[in-house]
Amino acid sequence: MNFKRISVGEAQRIMEDVAAKNPPQTPQIVDIRDDQSYASGHMAMAIHLHNTNLQEFIQNAEFDVPLLVYCYHGPMSQSAAAYLAEQGFTQTYSLDGGYEAWKNRQ
């Protein structure tokens, strides 16, 4: 496994750490849900990643900046995170609980 599954709290800490070390940089955040779900709400600064923009994303991405991948509830983002880690991303994370967990965080 070339990626790490993380909780919402861990995701928040990673986002804060990246911003504190390299302002105004943030982790790369990708949302792999369908168009309608993305349009109805997503994490701030999330890129909507799908088959038609995947190669462009990989070509323009920063491989040494943390990459956070999320879906609805978490399982699908694990496959996407594994694939992206295989492409050379060095710090790849899958958000356990997905967007639903992020949206419902306290």
Report the C-alpha gap between 73 and 67 in whole angstroms: 17
* pLDDT tens, residue by residue, 69-81: 999 998 999 999 9
Model's pTM, two decimal places? Answer: 0.93
Where residue 29 falls among pLDDT bands split at 50, 70, 90? very high
60 Cβ partners below 8 Å, 6+ apart? none
Mean pLDDT for 51-63 is 95
Mean pLDDT for 9-29 is 86
Question: How much is the pLDDT for 106?
Answer: 63
Give the DSSP per-residue string, 13-62: HHHHHHHHHSTT---EEEE-S-HHHHHH---TT-EE--TTTHHHHHHH--
The end-to-end CA distance of the chain, in Å, is 30
User: What range does the domain containing 67 cover?
Assistant: 4-103
21: annotated active-site residue: no
Q: How many domains does the chain have?
A: 1
What CATH code is carried by the domain that includes residue 22? 3.40.250.10
- Active-site entry in 14, 32, 68, 71: 71
